């Protein structure tokens, strides 16, 4: 392999564009070392969930307080322990340990629920030595009285507040469900985000028919899902001065190549690594190198954004809705009809 | 001045003991448990002793075991201590004689507690320490928290110097649990008191193979006596050594003690002698009488054994002509109590000995006040003082009690007093404890806190008594007239006399959902009258709402504590708020910022919500106190129980109480607790008649009856019922009904109800719903429900879920914890067999919720039959139950023999029918009862001593079974030896182990049932060893029926196990999984959580039936499937595992891996065993005590 794989993400020089996204693999030192060995150029640690911390604190408090001092023979029912580690200490320790054993940059990830929590934990993470911070914003707006602008302001206010309080690069991981995603991306950038991670994959509730209960689910992603970040990275990469990270559905070197062509600075992988193990990363990197060599690119920097909307010979293609593309394909490009009828979905206009 | 500390007596003593020990053997027993827990916690945290090594703290299987381990460690030369009380101390007695006889220095710290006699009591007096006074231990008494620390040190030094072991004691609860501000002992002082040369001397005497000696020889009549006398010089030297040690202590600390401490008039004519915490109250009386010019004095006995008569006489003013000796113990039949006797003997040698009278006071923590002490001094002025008296009670039978002038009070004006009424676990006690510490540590004032907790484990009232003032506080009695009263629960106002102890002009703070303008009309008229008559300043705050707003629902403590400081003015407000927050930080910082923030918010929100009530001139309103018990309650309940319930038990005269501890059953039904916040609501339209709500209800507060529809004629409007879908009882209706005043709202029934609405999944046939607006209707429904007839037992399949639930529970409305996992088993047992069982109940949770007054849950049916229940001790329960069986078997055999003898008079038919009766079914039992009635009628017409004897025993012709019930602490640990023996006896007894896997009653200490990886007290770093397999051990006997059950996991298997155990004619053992608050789970989900215990293989279900063995089949039926979820998933829902996983993740993970291996291996083993055929001989006829009958039969069969 001869092509130069280096890339820059939020001002941080990386050996290649393959970054391990936040997942259970990046929650342990063993997992992180395996990812580094497999060639990951950076890691995003598993998220610190403020909600989880609060939940644990309340749980511990409830366990320790319930039934205390109500009966003559027992003041309480549990031995006093040195510490209950309910707070961010174990996460801070993870950041510190990751920094001490890894050579590649360490990006911490934070999912807050309260204003105070976001800034407090962002600060702790910076102090623990993280090279950058990714905000994993997961806000489901369920109140019909809250308008989109109000909901979006929560994102931008938060980013402004945190970016003012820390000095390490700040990335924001968002979902795709905004009425005007490009505008939101621009405002987040203006608020101080150095990078945008597109996109967050949400945990969806499911109904267990066996238990007749609502249960959380998270399915591992598949390649098709990478098409959504592909479109938006292609659209945004020429327009905003912000680092772009692709996340969701990246399985193979081909997926990576496409996203880099669309304009991603880095591509983040989780499901594929969970499915195939950390070593899969090295195969993808090799595949990327091979593709570059085969297509006579000398570097990732050279190819990056070369198929973005701005650079594309057919910019309208990124904006068209599905049926338009299909219509065009069907009427103009004259594809193999077998391909068309092989689709499982009903014909859109049928 | 050295910095002071604010701690309780147990901690004061334990701090010294831990620093001066190398081996500490312990066993939990109230009220000394905390000393062992603290020592264990300090060692677990690596806190070293004075010589830099961490003391070995070992929990043993009993106090007897602790004493044995200690004896061995002492022999090996270690510095040793232990902590105990009451029966625990008595179990140590055999070793205490040995330890003392061998002149081995050690100190036993005892939080003195009464010994169980006609009843168990956890409270304080000297009957335990008095029972060991012949052991040869020196006995040193402390009367206060300061002394509990100081004399602990003096004991440890004096024992090393004298070689005589010391029993250092202080009063259980009054001193052990009182929080007081004391001068702590620093390490330098402790070191200076315990020179290394004394320690070396102890080491030199130790057993060692390098310079061996022999101990524990057996001596014959030739030398034992002399050898026993050889130690006299050591005992004789003790008083001087203790005196010198006290002198040395005074040099180092400035605090002077004497073996007999006299205070009062130097030329007193009247002196009271006593020891223990009563000294504080007596001292106040003496001071008050001295101020009146009376010549009185007080002699506080510190060194009780060896009793130094000469020192005693020397300590007493020579002018003392009349002396009253007060003993906090009772020795029936003696010429006087122990201290009294010693004083009489000590003074006998004096020319013209003074008059000495003796009295008992304060048994089982009965209050002892300055007024009572004054009454004793008053008695000494009588022309002929009573030689024997009691004080503190009204004895209208033997008329020994002194009259007490309640107007005699000594509480000084500069001592502020407060009483806080709280609900168990609302944080009131903890907050008051903090308040005492805040005042103690942030001001120059001295402070004292004392806490009175309820006997019920749920919905209990806690009363916290606080004093602070400029001098050390020695008032060792409850606050009599409080300058501040806080009622932390609005609902108490019509149940508890909250303002009874309010002083004139006191401040009254009420947690009220009603604001300052509305509250007056909402409080009972009787309370209004007290507010007006006592000129109270009345404040309200909706602390419940403030706490909820702050994110701490139910925890009103912090809010009300802030209000207390705002109103009491002990500290400037800003300073008080800072101090409260510092206390919050200290208490909660380990739990995280969310908890801290919420508590801080509660403080900040509090003051703005505090409002003064403008007290109206008029007392008026429609709210009145409810009668304590309903008018239809039986006379005993009206006369005695109701008084106890109303908090007036102290005023019951001696004549009101049973002489032998025998009480009527079923009194819990008369107590109107009304403690639930939410009540179950039944929706008959989606009910599936499964009866599981009633099956799992821990409180028997949700009931089912099946009855004829025509009985609905008189039903109240709100009464619900539905068609009963059953082929066995066609045409019937059924009703599910709650007892609204008895339900405590635990939610177990709603959680477990399997019937969901088809339209809205969250709605079940049983939902928990607010009780407001419903309670009166439900009360009417419950009255009607009670009037419905019980179903005929003979028409029901008892050994089924539905069948058992159609029957009346004879265990109801216990004071167990909300959602208790033990009580549903007991209730089920009484539904199935309650009308014919005797229950031997080991001490523990089940004996407390089963037998603690004022009201008890074991009940009778309409025929007056019900479980005959008794508790003997903790350690002997299996033997206790076996004894019942032996008696019953003997009676039945005798009755059968007499029946045979009377056959000519009675008639062969009836005799044969009775003798051959099949009593294996309800119908069989009912038929036999009828036969016995006929027999009785016939016997009435026969006038012979034999007939009279048979009439006496005729009831024993009806099968009765003995159920031996207790927890794992009993079955696995302290009672295991007896349990094993009873299993081996082969006799017809049923043993039910309510396995919570910890000592639940004393606060969750580890037992041998505690599983690997779970934390418990004494296993703070997770239990390292696996759970003992009691079932496997029992099944090895071959003739023991063994079942392991979990009611919530498999109802039918549990019911079946009860039926099989009952029908097995040999010993049966049921090990029942019982969820407990010490597991750290949401108790509402306790029953459904059991499913996960079984699904994970944590709690395998099985039945081992020897009857199959006799038939050559596979005796072990493995009833639960192979695990479907990992152990980790089950454990993740329990605090006992998750706390460790958070605290020590790596260790927890390692232990969890091994615990999973435990589960896998046990499954593998059981699966193999389930495939094993055994061929055992049928020995039941022999083992059940019928060997003689068998021999006779065989003889007759011989040609």
pLDDT of residue A149: 93
Calculate mean pLDDT across residues B538-561.
Answer: 94
Q: What are phi and psi of B810, to 5 degrees?
A: -110, 30
Cβ B1078–A77 below 8 Å, yes or no? yes
B1001 is catalytic: yes
Cβ A68–B430 below 8 Å, yes or no? yes
Structure tokens at B807: 């029957």
Structure tokens at A16: 């290649």
Calculate mean pLDDT across residues B926-942.
Answer: 96
Q: B463-495: per-residue pLDDT in tens?
A: 999 999 999 999 999 999 999 999 999 999 988
Look up the ipTM and state it: 0.92
Q: B355-366: per-residue pLDDT in tens?
A: 999 999 999 999
Query: When comparing pLDDT for A26 and A319, which is higher?
Result: A26
Cβ A69–B451 below 8 Å, yes or no? yes
Q: B799-811: per-residue pLDDT in tens?
A: 999 999 999 999 9
Cβ A72–B462 below 8 Å, yes or no? no
Is residue A204 predicted with pLDDT exceeding 90? Answer: no
Number of residues in chain B: 1199
Cβ B37–A79 below 8 Å, yes or no? yes
B30 is catalytic: yes
pLDDT of residue A130: 97
pLDDT of residue B466: 97
pLDDT of residue B1112: 75
When computed from its CA atoms, the radius of gyration of chain A, rounded to whole angstroms, is: 23
Contact B506, B530 (CB under 8 A): no
Residue B7 pairs in a beta bridge with B180
| Nearest Cβ partner for A77 among B30, B1004, B1138 | B1004
Calculate mean pLDDT across residues B837-861.
Answer: 97
Cβ B1017–A79 below 8 Å, yes or no? yes
| Nearest Cβ partner for A78 among B453, B1135, B1144 | B1135
| Nearest Cβ partner for B756 among A61, A69, A212 | A212
B122 touches chain A (CB under 8 A): yes
Is residue A341 predicted with pLDDT exceeding 50? Answer: no
Mean pLDDT of chain B: 95
Distance CA B1088, CA B1047 (A): 9
pLDDT of residue B1180: 64
Q: B541-552: per-residue pLDDT in tens?
A: 999 999 999 998
B936 is catalytic: no
Nearest to B752 by CA among B835, B676, B692, B688: B692
Calculate mean pLDDT across residues A302-331.
Answer: 71
pLDDT of residue B555: 86
Residue A242's Cβ-side half-sphere holds a number of Cα atoms within 13 Å equal to: 29
Is residue B1098 predicted with pLDDT exceeding 80? Answer: yes
Nearest to B69 by CA among B77, A159, B60, B673: B60
Nearest to A194 by CA among A19, A10, A13, A17: A10
Shortest Cα distance, chain B CAs vs residue A255, angstroms: 37
Cβ B1004–A74 below 8 Å, yes or no? yes
pLDDT of residue B1111: 75
Of B155-164, B671-680, B858-867, B1174-1183, which gets the smallest average pLDDT?
B1174-1183
Q: Residue A74: its chain B contacts at CB < 8 A?
A: 33, 1001-1004
Shortest Cα distance, chain A CAs vs residue B1099, angstroms: 22
Cβ A57–B460 below 8 Å, yes or no? no
Cβ B817–A59 below 8 Å, yes or no? no
Nearest to B144 by CA among B115, B181, B114, B106: B181
Closest-CA residue of chain B to A50: B594
Is residue A78 predicted with pLDDT exceeding 50? Answer: yes
Calculate mean pLDDT across residues B680-702.
Answer: 97
**pTM (2 d.p.):** 0.93
Q: Band the pLDDT of B641: cuts 50, 70, 90.
A: very high
Is residue A122 predicted with pLDDT exceeding 80? Answer: yes
Region of B56 (left: φ > 0; alpha: ψ -120 to 50; beta: rest) is: beta
pLDDT of residue A336: 41
Closest-CA residue of chain A to B1134: A63
Is residue A295 predicted with pLDDT exceeding 60? Answer: yes
B830 touches chain A (CB under 8 A): no
Cβ B460–A80 below 8 Å, yes or no? no
Calculate mean pLDDT across residues B1021-1026.
Answer: 94
Helix H segments across B818-870? 823-833, 845-851
Is residue A343 predicted with pLDDT exceeding 90? Answer: no
DSSP class per residue in B292-354: TT--EEEEEESEEES--HHHHHHHS-TT--EEEEEESS--TTSSS-HHHHHHHHHHHTSSSPP
Shortest Cα distance, chain B CAs vs residue A216, angstroms: 16
Is residue B881 predicted with pLDDT exceeding 70? Answer: yes
Distance CA B154, CA B575 (A): 39
| Nearest Cβ partner for B591 among A60, A82, A90 | A60
% of residues, chain B, pLDDT over 70: 98
Q: Residue A83: its chain B contacts at CB < 8 A?
A: 590, 1143
Contact B300, B263 (CB under 8 A): yes
B948 touches chain A (CB under 8 A): no
Find residues 576-605 of chain B whose CB sits inside 8 Å of chain A.
588, 590-595
pLDDT of residue B351: 87
Find residues 686-725 of chain B whose CB sits inside 8 Å of chain A.
none
Q: Residue A78: its chain B contacts at CB < 8 A?
A: 1004, 1015-1017, 1078, 1080, 1135-1136, 1139
DSSP class per residue in B478-547: --SSEEEEEES-GGGGGTS-TTTTEEEEEEEEEE-SS-TTTHHHHS-HHHHHHHHHTT-EEEEE-HHHHH
Distance CA B54, CA B72 (A): 19
Which of B10, B49, B95, B113 does the annotation list as catalytic? Answer: B113
Cβ A71–B453 below 8 Å, yes or no? yes
Q: Residue A72: its chain B contacts at CB < 8 A?
A: 30-31, 122, 173, 453-455
Is residue A350 predicted with pLDDT exceeding 80? Answer: no
Cβ B1140–A81 below 8 Å, yes or no? yes
Contact B66, B25 (CB under 8 A): yes
Contact B33, B63 (CB under 8 A): no
Which of B5, B6, B30, B843 does the annotation list as catalytic? Answer: B30
Query: When comparing pLDDT for A43 and B454, which is higher?
Result: A43
Nearest to B986 by CA among B1187, B794, B781, B1174: B1187
Closest-CA residue of chain B to A82: B1143
Cβ B1004–A78 below 8 Å, yes or no? yes
Specify the pairing of strand B702-707 against strand B837-841: unpaired
pLDDT of residue B1190: 66
B1133 touches chain A (CB under 8 A): no
B1143 touches chain A (CB under 8 A): yes
Q: Band the pLDDT of A346: cuts 50, 70, 90.
A: very low
Which of A77, A83, A118, A211 would you mutate first to test chain B, the one with the most B CBs within 10 A? A77
Specify the pairing of strand A7-9 against strand A106-111: unpaired
Q: Residue A73: its chain B contacts at CB < 8 A?
A: 30-31, 33, 122, 848, 1001-1003
Q: B78-115: per-residue pLDDT in tens?
A: 999 999 999 999 999 999 999 999 999 999 999 999 99
pLDDT of residue A202: 78
Which of B22, B37, B63, B161 does the annotation list as catalytic? Answer: B63
Q: B173-201: per-residue pLDDT in tens?
A: 999 999 999 999 999 999 999 999 999 99
């Amino acid at each position: 392999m001869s092509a130069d794989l280096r890339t820059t993400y939020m001002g941080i020089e990386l050996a290649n564009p393959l970054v391990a996204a936040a997942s259970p693999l990046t929650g342990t030192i063993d997992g992180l070392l395996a990812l580094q060995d497999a060639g990951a150029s950076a890691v995003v640690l598993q998220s610190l969930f403020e909600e989880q911390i609060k939940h644990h604190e309340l749980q511990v408090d409830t366990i320790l307080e319930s039934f205390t001092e109500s009966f003559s023979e027992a003041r309480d029912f549990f031995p006093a322990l040195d510490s209950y580690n309910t707070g961010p200490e174990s996460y801070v320790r993870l950041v510190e340990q990751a920094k001490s054993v890894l050579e590649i940059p360490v990006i911490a990830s934070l999912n807050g629920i309260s204003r105070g929590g976001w800034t407090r934990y962002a600060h702790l993470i910076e102090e623990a030595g993280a090279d950058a911070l990714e905000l994993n914003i997961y806000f489901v707006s369920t109140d019909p009285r809250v308008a989109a602008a109000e909901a979006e302001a929560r994102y931008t206010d938060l980013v402004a507040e945190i970016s003012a309080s820390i000095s390490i690069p700040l990335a924001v991981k968002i979902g795709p469900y905004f009425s005007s995603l490009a505008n939101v991306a621009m405002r987040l950038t203006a608020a101080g985000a150095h990078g945008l991670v597109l996109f967050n994959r949400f945990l969806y509730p499911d109904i267990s028919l066996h238990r007749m209960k609502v249960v959380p689910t998270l399915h591992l992603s598949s390649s098709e899902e990478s098409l959504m970040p592909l479109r938006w990275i292609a659209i945004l990469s020429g327009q905003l001065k912000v680092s772009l990270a692709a996340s969701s559905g990246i399985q193979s070197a081909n997926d990576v190549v496409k996203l880099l062509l669309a304009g991603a600075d880095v591509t983040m992988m989780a499901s594929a690594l969970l499915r195939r193990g950390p070593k899969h990363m090295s195969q993808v990197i090799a595949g990327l190198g091979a593709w570059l060599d085969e297509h006579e690119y000398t570097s990732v920097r050279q190819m990056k954004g070369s198929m973005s909307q701005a650079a594309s010979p057919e910019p309208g293609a990124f904006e068209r809705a599905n049926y338009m593309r299909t219509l065009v394909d069907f009427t103009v490009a004259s594809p193999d009809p077998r391909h068309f009828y092989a689709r499982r979905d009903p014909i859109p206009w049928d | 001045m050295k910095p002071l500390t604010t701690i309780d007596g147990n901690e004061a003593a334990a701090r010294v003991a831990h620093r001066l020990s190398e081996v500490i053997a312990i066993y939990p027993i109230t009220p000394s448990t905390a000393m062992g827990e603290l020592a264990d916690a300090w060692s677990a945290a690596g806190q070293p002793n004075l010589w830099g090594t961490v003391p070995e703290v070992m929990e043993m299987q009993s106090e007897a075991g602790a004493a044995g381990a200690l004896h061995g460690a002492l022999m090996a030369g270690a510095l040793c201590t232990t902590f105990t009380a009451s029966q625990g101390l008595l179990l140590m007695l055999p070793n205490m004689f040995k330890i003392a006889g061998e002149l081995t220095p050690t100190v036993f710290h005892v939080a003195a507690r009464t010994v169980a006699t006609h009843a168990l009591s956890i409270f304080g007096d000297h009957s335990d320490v008095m029972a060991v006074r012949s052991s040869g231990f020196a006995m040193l008494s402390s009367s206060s928290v300061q002394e509990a620390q100081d004399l602990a040190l003096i004991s440890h030094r004096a024992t090393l110097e004298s070689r005589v072991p010391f029993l250092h004691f202080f009063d259980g609860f009054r001193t052990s649990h009182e929080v007081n501000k004391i001068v702590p002992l620093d390490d330098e002082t402790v070191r200076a008191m315990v020179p290394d040369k004394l320690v070396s001397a102890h080491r030199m005497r130790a057993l060692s193979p390098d310079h061996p000696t022999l101990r524990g020889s057996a001596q014959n009549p030739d030398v034992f006596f002399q050898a026993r006398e050889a130690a006299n010089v050591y005992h004789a030297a003790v008083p001087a050594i203790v005196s010198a040690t006290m002198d040395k202590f005074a040099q180092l600390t400035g605090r002077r003690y004497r073996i007999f401490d006299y205070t009062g008039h130097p030329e007193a004519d009247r002196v009271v002698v006593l020891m223990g915490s009563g000294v504080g109250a007596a001292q106040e009386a003496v001071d008050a009488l001295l101020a009146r010019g009376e010549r009185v004095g007080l002699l506080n006995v510190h060194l009780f054994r060896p009793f130094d008569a000469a020192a005693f006489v020397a300590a007493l003013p020579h002018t003392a002509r009349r002396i009253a000796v007060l003993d906090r113990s009772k020795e029936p039949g003696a010429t006087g109590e122990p201290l009294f006797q010693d004083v009489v003997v000590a003074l006998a040698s004096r020319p013209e000995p003074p008059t000495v009278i003796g009295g008992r006071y304060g048994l089982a923590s009965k209050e002892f006040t300055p007024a009572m002490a004054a009454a004793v001094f008053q008695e000494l002025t009588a022309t002929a003082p009573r030689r024997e008296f009691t004080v503190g009670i009204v004895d209208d039978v033997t008329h020994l009690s002194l009259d007490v002038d309640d107007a005699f009070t000594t509480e000084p004006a500069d001592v502020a007093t407060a009483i806080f009424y709280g609900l168990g676990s609302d944080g009131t006690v903890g907050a008051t404890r903090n308040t005492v510490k805040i005042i103690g540590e942030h001001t120059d004032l001295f402070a004292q806190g004392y806490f009175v907790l309820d006997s019920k484990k749920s919905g209990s009232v806690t009363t916290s008594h606080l004093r602070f003032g400029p001098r050390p506080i020695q008032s060792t009695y409850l606050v009599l007239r409080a300058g501040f009263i806080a009622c932390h629960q609005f609902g108490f106002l019509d149940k508890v006399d909250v303002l009874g102890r309010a002083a004139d002009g006191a401040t009254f703070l009420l947690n009220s959902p009603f604001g300052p303008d509305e509250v007056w009309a909402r409080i009972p008229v009787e309370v209004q009258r007290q507010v007006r008559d006592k000129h109270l300043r009345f404040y309200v705050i909706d602390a419940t709402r403030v706490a909820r707003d702050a994110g701490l629902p139910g925890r009103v403590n912090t809010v009300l504590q802030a209000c207390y400081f705002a109103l009491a003015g002990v500290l400037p407000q800003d300073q008080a708020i800072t101090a409260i927050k510092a206390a919050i930080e200290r208490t909660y910082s380990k739990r995280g910022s969310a908890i801290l923030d919420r508590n801080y918010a509660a403080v900040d929100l509090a003051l703005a919500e505090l409002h003064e009530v403008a007290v109206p001139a008029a007392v008026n309103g429609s709210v009145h106190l409810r009668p304590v018990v309903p008018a239809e309650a039986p006379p005993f309940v009206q006369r005695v129980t109701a008084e106890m319930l109303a908090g007036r038990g102290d005023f019951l005269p001696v004549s009101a109480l049973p002489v032998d501890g025998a009480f009527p059953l079923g009194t819990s039904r008369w107590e109107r607790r009304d403690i639930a916040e939410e009540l179950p609501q039944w929706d008959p339209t989606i009910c599936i008649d499964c009866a599981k709500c009633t099956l799992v209800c821990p409180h028997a507060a949700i009931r089912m009856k099946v009855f004829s529809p025509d009985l609905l004629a008189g039903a109240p409007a709100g009464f619900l019922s539905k068609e009963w879908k059953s082929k066995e009882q066609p045409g019937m209706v059924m009703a599910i009904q709650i007892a609204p005043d008895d339900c405590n709202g635990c939610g177990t029934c709603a959680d477990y109800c399997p019937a969901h609405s088809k339209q809205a999944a969250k709605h079940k046939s049983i939902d928990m719903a607010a009780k407001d607006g419903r309670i009166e209707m439900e009360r009417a429904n419950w009255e009607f429900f009670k009037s419905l007839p019980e179903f005929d037992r003979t028409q029901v399949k008892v050994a089924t879920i539905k069948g058992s639930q159609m029957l009346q529970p004879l265990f109801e409305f216990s004071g167990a914890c909300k959602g208790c996992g033990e009580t549903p088993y007991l209730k089920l047992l009484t539904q199935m067999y309650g009308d014919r069982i005797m229950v031997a109940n080991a001490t523990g949770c089940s004996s407390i919720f089963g037998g603690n007054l004022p009201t008890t849950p074991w009940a009778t049916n309409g025929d007056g039959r019900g479980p005959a229940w008794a508790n003997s001790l903790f350690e002997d329960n299996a033997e206790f139950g076996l004894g019942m069986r032996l008696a019953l078997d003997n009676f039945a055999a005798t009755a059968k023999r007499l029946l045979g003898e009377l056959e000519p008079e009675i008639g062969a038919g009836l005799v044969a029918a009775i003798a051959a009766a099949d009593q294996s079914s309800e119908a069989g039992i009912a038929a036999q009862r009828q036969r016995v009635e006929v027999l009785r009628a016939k016997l009435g017409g026969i006038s012979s001593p034999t007939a009279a004897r048979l009439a006496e025993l005729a009831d024993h012709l009806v099968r009765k079974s003995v159920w031996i019930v207790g927890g794992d602490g009993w079955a696995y640990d302290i009672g295991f030896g007896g349990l094993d023996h009873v299993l081996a006896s082969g006799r017809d007894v049923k043993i039910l182990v309510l396995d919570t896997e910890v000592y639940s009653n004393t606060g969750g200490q580890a037992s041998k049932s505690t599983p690997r990886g779970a934390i418990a007290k004494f296993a703070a770093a997770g239990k390292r060893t696996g759970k003992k397999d009691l079932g496997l051990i029992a099944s090895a006997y071959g003739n023991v029926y063994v079942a392991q059950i979990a009611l919530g996991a498999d109802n039918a298997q549990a019911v079946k196990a009860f039926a099989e155990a009952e029908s097995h004619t040999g010993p049966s053992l049921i090990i029942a999984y019982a969820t407990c608050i010490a597991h750290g789970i949401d108790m509402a989900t306790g029953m459904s959580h059991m499913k996960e215990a079984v699904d994970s293989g944590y709690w395998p279900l099985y039945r081992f039936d020897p009857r199959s063995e006799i038939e050559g089949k596979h005796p072990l039926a493995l009833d639960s499937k192979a695990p479907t979820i990992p152990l980790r998933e089950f454990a993740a829902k329990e605090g006992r595992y998750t706390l460790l996983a958070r605290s020590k993740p790596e260790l927890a993970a390692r232990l969890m891996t091994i615990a999973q291996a435990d589960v896998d291996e046990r499954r593998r083993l059981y699966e193999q065993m389930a495939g094993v055929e055994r061929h055992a001989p049928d020995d039941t006829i022999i083992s059940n005590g019928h060997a003689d009958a068998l021999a006779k039969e065989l003889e007759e069969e011989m040609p």
